[in-house]
Structure 1
Amino acid sequence: MLEELKTLLKKNIREYGMYIALVIIMAIFSLLTDGLFFSSRNLSNLFNQMGYIAVLAVGMTLVIVIRHIDLSVGFGSGFLGAIAAILMMQYNIPILPTILIVMLIGIFFGLINGFFISYIGIPSFVMTLAGMMIFRGALLVSTEKTGTIIILNDTFNEIGNGFIPDIFHNENIHMTSLLLGAIIIFFYIISEIKKRNNKLKYNFEVLSMKVFILKLILISSVIGYVFWTLANYNGVSWTFLIVLVVAFVYHIITTKTPLGRHIYAVGGNPEAAKLSGISINKITLFVFGSMGFLTALSGILYTSRFQSATPTAGTLFELDAIAAAYVGGVSASGGVGKVTNSIVGALVMASLINGMNLIGVGISYQYIIRGAVLVAAVVFDIKTRNKAS
């Protein structure tokens, strides 16, 4: 059994590396903070802090999979958050129309990026670099009259700071969060069993029953621990729930639909994909439109969390999103990467930031460490890819 585990880890080092990194980071900060890092309150804050980066990381994963990059998502997120604040505070537009308008604007800007990149042929680095500067300027213009735009809409602010209600009204523990965790564990186990049976049906290699059961127990225990910890505070936040929904929807799109297969085909071998009848331009347009949608969602989550729009909102979000995607196992050469793993990558980056804040690391050193993590993730990708080939 130990030999099988070693072989499994060696063959899947790219995918499991981020989990190892996450465990090491969390263990270090837990020791340095005397267990404060794993407190219910801090874990709840951690999941809220990672929300706006996690949704960006999901979109960035697909962008990198098709061999492109999007540098505009940081200030794009800040600008779209400012648009939401202006619509509600200056024009008194209700929350639902505001969110819908911001989402549509985000998709529109994403499609513009996709159009110029796919149909005009502008390199994505150049196009999105221009977008970064345009959004930066637009953000400054939109906030120049008042500086910080304070949002007084309690319902909107609840998105980034509130928690799902407990339908059981238990005073000691948030039972709805425990139920949600149990449902996720149930569907995870069913999905893994179904996946294993399909592989056996076609005579593919699978894990031995002992290792398979160990994997189910280990991952189910981690999920259970997370939801148990959150249930002992205020329960699952709306931000965390939104991240889970985004991860689930994009997981289905990328793994269960022809569109998802086409995205990975374009990233893996564009020429072969084109010869097989896949429209590279349309796939590029969809991926960047999707990135625009998630940029808008990120802006809403960030603005709601801080209950305001500021001239500096979105600064270096693109770095954290790109780093989260690479830490999550996306390949710099395209064609490889999972959106669910990018969520773990975002958790790694958020854990770094959260832990460094708890132990009092200066912001200047934090940027140095985060940049080093990005380099390490790319080096890890190159080394594991060379070994695989």
Structure 2
Amino acid sequence: MNAIDSVRDVLTRNMRQSGIVIAFVVIVAIFAVLHPSFLSPGNLTNIVLQYSYILILAIGMVMIIVAGQIDLSVGSVVALTGAVSAVVVIRNGMPWWVGVLAALFVGLLVGMWQGFWVAYVGIPGFIVTLAGMLIFRGLTFLVLDNASLSPFGGTYYNIANGFLNGLFGGYGFDVFTLVIFAIGVAGYAVSQWRSRRGKIAYQQQVESMPLFVTKLVVVAAVVMWFGYQLSISRGLPIVLIILAVLIIAYALVTQNSVFGRHVYAVGGNRHAAELSGVKVKRVNFWIFVNMGVLASVAGVVYSSRMNGAQPGAGNMFELDAIAACFIGGASTTGGVGRVGGAVIGGLIMAVMSNGMQLMGVPQSTQQVVKGLVLLLAVAFDIWNKRRASVVR
């Protein structure tokens, strides 16, 4: 293989992942040109606050999809867990953390309920979670007695609306926010360097050092610019910290743990996974338990953002989460998908929604655009598989 072929191979080996990043950059650039305030500090902060719960759902959903399953109930679980928190905190006057724990416990029970039917009874996840979507929505109405509950106020309200700022002082910008982002950039650089060294040790192809350094510099510049925009607005959103912890944790679990490898094995070839000793039923059970817990986290964040609970909360959230995963590179047949890709897919959905809202695009048109983007993403997945099979 000559030098040109090596470069081409490195650039195209992960076309799905690199392509979605390029698409994200293009979409951001388009809205930045069409609406001057799109990249303003205030609007960037609003994007983080308004769409964080979709990204949380996408983190769990990508594991479900990688395993070859689907979960249609997460929107209803968001509503139910938010309702439970509201009843505990608002109606019964309990501390905010009791409401959070109650929501997480309900999410755990929901995940165990659905995981049992999928893993040990053998009912397809589509059917189980379709039933769950109806069951948990009905339970939400019962818990709230068909009425909204508000406001939370206090610490609970700050979960999705609060900011950390002023801890290190400020000079027209929040120093603490920039320090946190700088630590994140340093951590990313170290992880990429270790990954590169690992590939070299196993004699795998890597990009040239100049290209590697350029990639790190570009990522660092973009991340620090984003951090600066937040620092001159209201500081570091608390919900962004929660989201960052979840992304890092689940990226490590899916890529560097035995359980993560088992999830990919089950989605890639269930029969082969069973023959290899993978406990398929156990894997399917725990991915639904995990999804239930993450849906409850999203329920807490959403109810905090709305400062209350409504019977209709979380409507269509499951479709946004599923769309984020497929747009981010997950395969419709399972076995393929990454947490990072799902997050980027979710950001694309968030950017499109926010940008179209700023431009005054009707809600009906927004739904059409989102549907077309999802259709194109899945079409690209199918085309890419056919192209790969022809090459082989």
TM-score category (smaller protein): over 0.9
Task: Provide the C-alpha distance between the structure 2 equivalents of 1:87 and 1:152, rounded to a whole number of angstroms.
Answer: 10
Look up the equivalent residue of 2:152 and give its one-letter code: L
Superposed displacement of residue 7, structure 1: 4.7
Aligned length: 387
Match in the other structure for 1:87? 88
1 CA distance for matches of 2:387 and 2:78? 37
Q: Determine the structure 2 residue equivalent to 1:193.
A: 193
1:125 aligns with 2:126: yes
In structure 1, the residue matched to 2:22 is 20
1:151 aligns with 2:151: yes
Q: CA deviation at 1:178?
A: 0.4
Please give the alpha-carbon distance, in whole angstroms, between the structure 2 residues aligned to 1:356 and 1:310: 25
Label 1:122 to 1:95 Cα distance change in 2 as closer, same or farther (>3 A). Answer: same
Amino acid at match of 1:16: S
2:382 and 2:309 mapped to 1: Cα distance? 39
Q: Is the 8 A contact 1:56 1:295 kept in 2?
A: yes
Cα offsets for 1:155-180 (capped at 9, x unmatched): 10111111123321225211111011
| Counterpart residue number, 1:291 | 291
Give CA-to-partner distance per residue, 1:65-96, whole Å, 9 cap, x none.
00000000011101211111111011112111
Secondary structure of the structure 1 residue equivalent to 2:329: coil
Whether contact under 8 Å (2:89, 2:98) holds in the other structure is no
Tell me the secondary structure at the aligned position of residue 69 of structure 1: coil
| Residue 152 of structure 1: how far off its partner (Å) | 3.3
* Structure 1 Cα separation of the partners of residues 133 and 208 of structure 2: 49
Counterpart-to-counterpart distance in 1, 2:333 and 2:120: 22
Match of 2:320 in 1: 320
Structure 1 residue 340: Cα displacement: 1.9
Asked whether the equivalents of residues 5 and 211 of structure 1 are also in contact (C-alpha less than 8 Å), the reply is no
Runs of 4+ with >4 A deviation: 1-7
1:241 shift after superposition:
1.1
CA contact (8 A) 2:84 2:102 kept: no
Q: Contact 2:152–2:304 at 8 Å: present in 1 too? A: no
Residue range with higher mean Cα deviation, 296-305 or 225-234: 225-234
Shift of 1:246: 0.5
The superposition leaves residues 35-71 of structure 1 with CA deviations (integer Å, 9 ceiling, x where unpaired) of 2100000001011112100000000000000000000
Provide the rounded CA distance (Å) in 1 between the counterparts of 2:30 and 2:271. Answer: 45
Offset, 1:140: 2.2
Per-residue Cα deviation, 1:131-157 (whole angstroms, up to 9, x for no partner): 001122122223345x22112332101
Partners in 1 of 2:153 and 2:74 — Cα distance? 25
Distance 2:132 2:302 in 1: 20
Shift, 1:183, TM fit:
0.6
- Distance change in 2, residues 1:319/1:5 (3 Å): farther
The code of the aligned residue for 1:173 comes to F
- CA contact 2:10–2:205 (8 Å) conserved in 1: no
CA distance in 2, matches of 1:107, 1:185: 33
1:71 maps to: 72
Task: Structure 1: give runs of 5+ residues left out of the alignment.
Answer: none
Alpha-carbon distance, 1:98 to partner: 1.4
Instruction: Say if 1:47 and 1:347, in contact at 8 Å, map to a contact too.
Output: no
| Partner Cα distance (1:86, 1:233) in 2 | 34
Q: Distance in 1 between matches of 2:276 and 2:205?
A: 28
Matched, 1:59 2:60: yes
SS of the residue corresponding to residue 244 of structure 1 reads helix
Q: What is the deviation of 1:121?
A: 0.8
Match of 2:236, SS state, is coil
What SS does the aligned partner of 2:378 have?
A: helix
Give, as a single letter, the amino acid of the residue that structure 1 aligns with 2:19: G
Question: In 2, distance between residues paired with 1:2 and 1:141?
Answer: 64
Structure 2 SS opposite 1:122: coil
Matched letter for residue 260 of structure 1: G
Per-residue CA deviations over 1:307-334 (Å, capped at 9, x if unaligned) read 0111221010001000111111111111
Instruction: Return the TM-score normalized by structure 1.
Output: 0.96
2:210 equivalent in structure 1: 210
User: Per-residue deviation at 1:187?
Assistant: 0.9
| Structure 1 residue 8, shift from structure 2 partner | 3.7
CA RMSD after TM alignment? 1.5
Aligned to 2:167, what secondary structure does the other structure show?
A: coil
Q: Which runs of 5+ in 2 are unaligned?
A: none
Alpha-carbon distance in 1 for matches of 2:380, 2:223: 27
CA drift at 1:306: 1.0
Residue 174 of structure 1 corresponds to: 174
Distance 2:94 2:372 in 1: 43
Query: How much identity, in percent, do the aligned residues show?
Result: 38
What is aligned with 1:376?
376
Give the distance between the partners of 1:50 and 1:2, measured in 2 at CA: 42
For 1:261, the aligned partner's letter is R
Aligned to 2:37: 36
| 1: CA distance, partners of 2:5 / 2:47 | 36
Alignment match, 1:356: 356
Report the counterpart of residue 115 of structure 1 in structure 2: 116
Q: Deviations over 1:72-131 (max 9, x none)?
A: 001110121111111101111211121112101101101111110111011111110000
Shift of 1:216: 1.1
Of 10, 13, 16, the match for 1:11:
13
